[in-house]
Amino acid sequence: MLNFLSKKKDAVEQIAGIVLRHESGLALVIKKNNQRHSSQLIDQREFKYSNGWENLTYDIDEVLFTLEKNHNFSLKKTVFFLYSHLIDSRSHSIKDSYLEKINSLIKENQLDAIGYIDYTEALAKYLQNKEQSPLTALIVEIDVPAITASIYKGGERVFSESVGKTANIAADLEEICKKTQKDTVLPSRIIMYDSSELENESTALITHKWSEDLFIQMPRVEVLKPEEVTDALIYSFDDHPGARIEESPVQNQKTDEVPVPKENDSEGDMESESVAGFVIGKDIKEMDIRQDDKKTETVPDEAYNEDVDDSDGEVVDSHTSRPFSEKISAFFSHFSINSMNIKNKNIFIILIALAVIGGILASTLLLFHKAILTIYYQPETIEKEIEINSGIKIEKSTEKISTSESGEATGTKSIGDKAQGEVTIFNAETSEKTFKKNTQLKTSDGFIFLLSSDVKAAAAERKVTEDGDILTTTSKTKTKAAAQDIGQKYNIKDDVKFTIEGISESQSFARSTGAFSGGTEKEIQVASREDQDKLKKKIDGVIKKEAEKIIRSKQTDGKIISDLTETKVGDEKFSAEIGEEAKNVKLSISAEVSFYSYHEEDMKNLLLEQLTSVIPDGYTLDTSSISYTLADAKKDEKGKITLNISAKAQPKLNIAEQEVFSSIKGHSVSSIRSIIENKFKARGYKINFEPSIPILNSFIPLFSKNLKINVEPFQ
């Protein structure tokens, strides 16, 4: 029967995987598909502990915040991957000293802890699935303070032990192996893993001469690469047989209460509640930190660098949620100056020592305890189209431009003299004939000459011969003529016959009387129309550039409205007219540029007034957060100007920096998240200490001048 009242899991959820080693950790972002029962690694980030396990709460908070910011989603559900030497090999539970720290960081960072996974168990399950056969091997885990060896036979872990790590890793492993039961045959396969490469360590094991009592044959040594170890962790997190994670039940108890196990709880019961290193049906933060005091491993406590109170053997948590200022006040409240006798030398020395210590402490907090707190808020964008035809002063300015351009004359022209000479006109008509000036005379070669003046040719004489024939004697009249065009080709020879324009040769004709002379011709360079047009086009570009130059120089006084800029060209003057002889042609011109401008400050103040009504609640806007583009500008016949503006603004979350400081000063770094996000409605924050001093990095500065607060949009 289906339970319809049970809580349904999200189809896809993001889970934080925290790998905890002795001095460093690894944060994983796991995408879990609850329908397909599969998990996928989407990001990972190594991080060093800033002060061992003392500041682990802050270190994890910082790395999770960075991952949340990069992926823009929240990471609350968390699974812990623990090195085996952090787990008691007999009770299969986290050692007390580490469990207390883990409980603290879960509570301080408000994490929803699913459970934890034993590194070695995860690797064993992964290798069995990969090789499709029960695992028989000696898995060796190497961390800074300890080395742990686990023996697997037929897929089951039959032995696990840890010892303090020395410089001789082979000797350390041999020491562990000797603790196995007598006549135990060790697997001839050794698998090693760490957070880095193990080239030197693997070489040491390969070259070591093992006792024949431990290995029947020389063991084969394998090193798992870090990426393969990560794959094993993700695989172990999937819903595969033997590695299924169940939901943690809701506990009706206060978060600071720790349940105490019943006296009749047995070791077998504890084993039945865990599968492949997962805590089944329990939350880490609900586990009892006061577990069995029995120590099953030979690693000395000092190897783990823990803070232990020798008086009762209990681990002392130096991390507290009280502001540091309260700690200082509580410390000095134990001393009463009135009860001291100044005359006593010893008391006087104590007073001086306390004063020096107090001065050093105060100076340290004042001079070196500094931080930069960046508060991120959810950005809001305002966009609005605004038409402006009043409310802003628009000024008109006029500038004159005088310039000139010149170029080489490219036109050509032929010049010279016309050939001149004397001609004789022969008239065969019986009547007198008049030939006007410029009457054309044409040679057989087509050369044309013109009469230089009007000429009257006498009538021809006719006589009847004795034979009865009529004899006509033409009249001969000499006159001047000149060639129609210039050129040497018109210098014709003597006795060249001409036909007369419009008259038959039988009536009249002419001949040159002597050779013609004086005809010359040469080509000269002149100005052409193309030269003038080219200069006009060139000077138009010069005027435009000069106008732009003037506008740029005026931009310092105001913003120019380019659409309204006008250029009026005045008189043009060329140095040579078309066809006039010239080597170069120069054009001189004058123009007048008119442009309109406004002041940037006036425009932004006007836009601020227009945008005030659409600012979201809790946000403020100033002119520095406003940007705009001038989409269009027009001027009507009466000179009225209308501007169309596309405005865009980024309002800022209204956070009082002094109020923020008053709310968090002296608080532990891990406790300020809820204050910043809930009280000030922020998206998140980031804090950097400069200089970075591990002890001081755990709480907020006490002096306002030592805490710089920046408020920025979340990108």
pLDDT one-digit tens code per residue, 628-664: 999 999 988 888 899 999 999 999 988 888 999 999 9
Quick one: pLDDT at residue 332? 43
Q: What is the pLDDT of residue 557?
A: 62
Q: Which one is the CATH code of 417-519: 1.25.40, 1.10.10, 2.40.30, 2.40.128? A: 2.40.30
What's the half-sphere exposure (Cβ side, CA atoms, 13 Å) at 619? 23
pLDDT of residue 642: 92
What interhelical angle do 96-108 and 56-71 show, nearest 10? 50
Residue 648 is which amino acid? K
Residue keyed to tokens 């006798």 = 341
The CATH homologous superfamily for domain 128-225 is: ATPase, nucleotide binding domain (3.30.420.40)
C-alpha distances in Å from residue 710, one per residue of 374, 376, 425, 686, 687: 5, 9, 114, 10, 10
- Name the percent of the chain lying above pLDDT 70: 82
260 or 92: which carries more pLDDT confidence?
Answer: 92
Q: In which band, very low, low, confident or very high, does the pLDDT at 215 lie, cut at 50, 70 and 90?
A: confident
- Residue 12: pLDDT band with limits 50, 70, 90: confident
Q: What is the DSSP letter of 712?
A: E
For the question of whether the overall pTM of this predicted structure is more than 0.75, the answer is no
Q: What are the distances in angstroms from CA 298 to CA 38, 190, 445?
A: 38, 21, 133
Does residue 282 carry a pLDDT above 90?
no
At position 456, the amino acid (one-letter code) is K
Identify which of 627, 663, 669, 622 has the alpha carbon closest to the alpha carbon of residue 645.
627
Domain ranges of the chain: 128-225, 396-411+525-598, 417-519
Parallel, antiparallel or unpaired: strands 189-193 and 137-142: parallel
pLDDT at 78: 92
Within 10 Å of residue 219's Cβ, how many Cβ atoms?
19
Take residue 68 and report the two structure tokens written for it.
Answer: 């949340």
DSSP type of residue 11: S
DSSP-assigned states of every residue in 133-156: S---EEEEEE-SSEEEEEEEETTE
Rounded CA-CA distance 27/64 in Å is 7
Amino acid at position 37, single letter: H
Q: Is-contact 306 300, C-beta < 8 A? A: no
Report how far Cα 671 is from the mean position of its chain's Cα atoms: 33
Q: What Å distances lie between residue 403 and 406, 407, 503, 509, 570, CA to CA?
A: 11, 14, 62, 63, 11
| Cα–Cα distance list, 45 to 41, 273, 627, 683 (Å) | 11, 31, 38, 22
Q: Which of 411-425, 487-501, 541-555 has the lowest mean pLDDT?
A: 541-555
Stretch 90-102: mean pLDDT, rounded? 85
3-state secondary structure of 162: strand
Residue 457's DSSP bridge partners are 433
Cα–Cα distance, 627 to 4 (Å, whole number) = 55
Least confident of 124-133, 406-415, 467-476, 519-528: 467-476
Residue whose C-alpha is closest to residue 174's, from 158, 190, 155: 190
pLDDT value, residue 358: 86
Do residues 573 and 596 lie in contact, with contact meaning Cβ atoms separated by under 8 Å? no
The DSSP secondary structure of 272-323, one letter per residue, reads HTEETTEESS--GGGS-SS------S---GGGGT--B-TTT-PBP----SS-
CA distances from 273 to 246, 403, 665, 696 (A): 11, 96, 44, 41
Cα 128 → chain centroid: 45
For the stretch 582-602, pLDDT in tens is 889 998 888 888 888 888 889
> Which position has the token pair 């091997």?
137
Residue 98 has pLDDT above 90, yes or no: no
Taking phi over 0 as left and psi of -120 to 50 as alpha, with beta for the rest, 333 belongs to alpha
Q: Check: CB of residue 511 under 8 Å from CB of residue 425.
A: no
Decide whether 128-225 matches 417-519 in CATH topology: no
Q: What is the CA angle 440-445-446, rounded to 5?
A: 35
SS (H, E, C) 483-531: EEEECHHHCCCCCCEEEECCCCCCCEEEEECCCCECCCCEEEEECCHHH
pLDDT digits (tens, 9 = 90+) for 348-382: 788 888 888 888 888 888 888 899 999 998 888 99
Mean of pLDDT values over 680-705: 88
Query: What DSSP string runs through 560-600?
Result: E-GGG-EEEEEEEEESS-TT-B-SEEEEEEEEEEEEEEE-H
Whether residue 6 has pLDDT greater than 80 = no
**257: amino acid identity, one letter:** E
User: Any idea which of 100-109, 162-171, 316-325 has the lowest mean pLDDT?
Assistant: 316-325
